[in-house]
Structure 1
Amino acid sequence: MGWRCAGVGWPSGARVSVLRWEGGRVSPLALGKGLGFRAEGARRCVGARGNTCPMGAMVPGRATRARCPECARLDRAHSVAADAVPDDPRTYRVYLAWFGPGMTKVGITAEERGPARLLEQGAVVFAWLGRGPLMAARRTEELLRAALGVPDRIPYARKRAVRAALPGPDERIAEVAGLHRRALALSGWAESLEPIAFEAVDHVGVFGLDGLPAADAVVRELVDGGAVAGRLLAVAGPDLHLRTARDGIVVVDTRLMTGWDLVGAGEGEALSVPTAGVREDGVQGGLF
């Protein structure tokens, strides 16, 4: 019986990510170290809101959220992202997150979480814009989308495609700074939202992106008996970048690992799961 993965986590105040396991165990993800695992059995629903799925339902291998339809609905019913709890009394922050040239998004996160949300998304650079009540933060987020055309989502395929060719720190920060100035100059900000002066946070070093080679492939899904193994080069958001023994640089989205029972595999073991190529436009190619 293997351990059941619960995804990547960034402990509060830590600069090193961990793999989380059901039951509360964690495994540090040390860059430069070997990492290998093999999936066993079937992928099962992880439940919702801390509750076990009553059906123990199977879920598709390519789903990035390992929940059955019923558990997904329960999780969504209590989600701030879905505006399901508009009376949340916590203070929220609005942020700008940069993932590559021309790829900046706006979002909100509970102030008590600090930068965890930005680390979880793989934000290469980020800056806070303002702080205040939930709905004021939400209105400001919508203002930026409408007035400046800043999206609230950027596909992970696009993020992965540019990580090995990022510009230098000055150029990265300048793009975020320019958008921050334009955002603060907009009229229509919610009165209860307090603007925050510009201060950029750069995660290139934390993620291990300096000198990162371009990815050759991305794992499409895990399968029963399928192995993934290699040397860990970078961890950005949910993505692990591995140098494999035979298949070059391979990216594993750890969201595809949740719901599986995993056992150890040797660092040099051959990749034996379905993969796809990575194109420069961030669109994944067919299986090979």
Structure 2
Amino acid sequence: MRWQGGRPQLLWERDRVSPLPLGGPFGFAVVGTRRCLGAQGLPCPRRADLPGDSTRALCADCTAFDRRHSVAADTAMDDPRPFRLYLAWFGPGLLKLGITAAERGDARLLEQGALAFTWLGEGPLAATRRAESALGAAHGIPDRMRIGAKRAARTSAAGVPAVEAAGQLLAAADALQTSSAWPDTLATLSPAVVDQRRVFRLPAAGPAPEVAVTSLHPGATAVGRLVAVVGSDAYVDLDLGRRALLPLPLLAGWSLTRPAGPTTAPLADLPAPADPGLF
């Protein structure tokens, strides 16, 4: 799964992608064997098999190789590119600090499913990483967030007006940029909030999935209408009459073709979202 030019694309084999038409028909059938996609632009030397329930399309060896050359894992700190520090909003009170290469623009924020964000600063990788750590510790803002927390927040976030979300971000951005923990080696960027909910096509009442696709296997199919894509999560109104959460990383590494029948992919029931009025 990747975002290109503000549009979601499915990486289903190495260097083979398909656009995901939001609001349009959606379907696939799984064929063949699921293979590791390889790391850092290189194919997996063993073409290793992968289990159907894994949301990471790399084998253990390629995962280790990827981490040795990863900015995110702090193992490639000699990267000469300029980096940006951002503040992301995933729902009411749910903020996260992070960094991304300046040349990638908003791609990292789209990949993470940030519902809104603002840039904070720009500088060398080491300085940007230190700022992320120091400011996060000083202000209690994490640089990691569990996918479950993001998914749960999408329902409560859907009804929050853009001006309210922007207010939360701008207040936190001001506190961070005027903090004594702000490093002199990081240039300050003027905060400007970008709300990405329209890009994701997040429904006005939230995605509200009833079931989730839990794994795939040869012959498994899914058929329906693609409602929204938030980060790497797709929300699909299935032909079965139920809305499903489909983690798109489950598809990576498979060969896919057009479905010839109804949905057969394994599904698990999801609990109904809590009513915000009860809390």
Instruction: Give the TM-score normalised by structure 1.
Output: 0.88
Residue 25 of structure 1: how far off its partner (Å): 4.1
Which residue of 274, 277, 285 corresponds with 2:270? 277
Q: Which residue of 2 aligns with 1:157?
A: 148
Residue 59 of structure 1: how far off its partner (Å): 1.9
Secondary structure of 1:10's counterpart equals strand
Residue 183 of structure 1: how far off its partner (Å): 0.7
Q: What CA distance in whole angstroms lies between the structure 1 residues aligned with 2:253 and 2:16?
A: 15
Residue 17 of structure 1: how far off its partner (Å): 2.0
Secondary structure of 2:228's counterpart equals strand
Which residue of 49, 53, 59 corresponds with 2:44? 53
Q: Gapped runs of 5+ residues in structure 2?
A: 275-279
Q: What CA distance in whole angstroms lies between the structure 1 residues aligned with 2:37 and 2:15?
A: 14
Which residue of 228, 231, 237 corresponds with 2:225? 231
Residue 15 of structure 1: how far off its partner (Å): 3.2
Residue-by-residue CA offset, 1:123-142 (whole Å, 9 max, x unaligned): 10000010000010001100
Residue 165 of structure 1: how far off its partner (Å): 3.3
Which residue of 212, 219, 223 corresponds with 1:218? 212
Identity over the aligned pairs, expressed in percent?
Answer: 42
Please tell me the residue identity of whatever aligns with 2:198.
Answer: G
Q: Which residue of 2 aligns with 1:137?
A: 128
Residue 24 of structure 1: how far off its partner (Å): 3.7
Q: Is the 8 A contact 1:243 1:250 kept in 2?
A: yes
Q: Which residue of 2 aligns with 1:4?
A: none
Q: What CA distance in whole angstroms lies between the structure 1 residues aligned with 2:55 and 2:12?
A: 17
Residue 265 of structure 1: how far off its partner (Å): 1.5
Deviation >3 Å, runs of 4+ = 20-26, 278-281
Q: How does 1:158-197 map to 2 (within 5 A)?
A: 158-166=149-157, 167-197=160-190
Please tell me the residue identity of whatever aligns with 2:70.
Answer: S
Residue 23 of structure 1: how far off its partner (Å): 5.6
Q: Which residue of 2 aligns with 1:208?
A: 201
Q: Which residue of 1 aligns with 2:10?
A: 19
1:263 aligns with 2:254: no
Residue 182 of structure 1: how far off its partner (Å): 1.1
Q: What CA distance in whole angstroms lies between the structure 1 residues aligned with 2:187 and 2:244?
A: 42
Q: Which residue of 1 aligns with 2:277?
A: none
1:100 aligns with 2:94: no
CA RMSD of aligned residues (A): 1.8
Q: Gapped runs of 5+ residues in structure 1?
A: 1-6, 282-288
Q: What CA distance in whole angstroms lies between the structure 2 residues aligned with 1:36 and 1:192?
A: 49
Secondary structure of 2:149's counterpart equals helix
Q: Is the 8 A contact 1:164 1:209 kept in 2?
A: no
Residue 242 of structure 1: how far off its partner (Å): 0.5
Residue 21 of structure 1: how far off its partner (Å): 4.4
Q: What CA distance in whole angstroms lies between the structure 2 residues aligned with 1:100 and 1:271?
A: 33
What is the count of residue pairs matched by the alignment?
A: 271
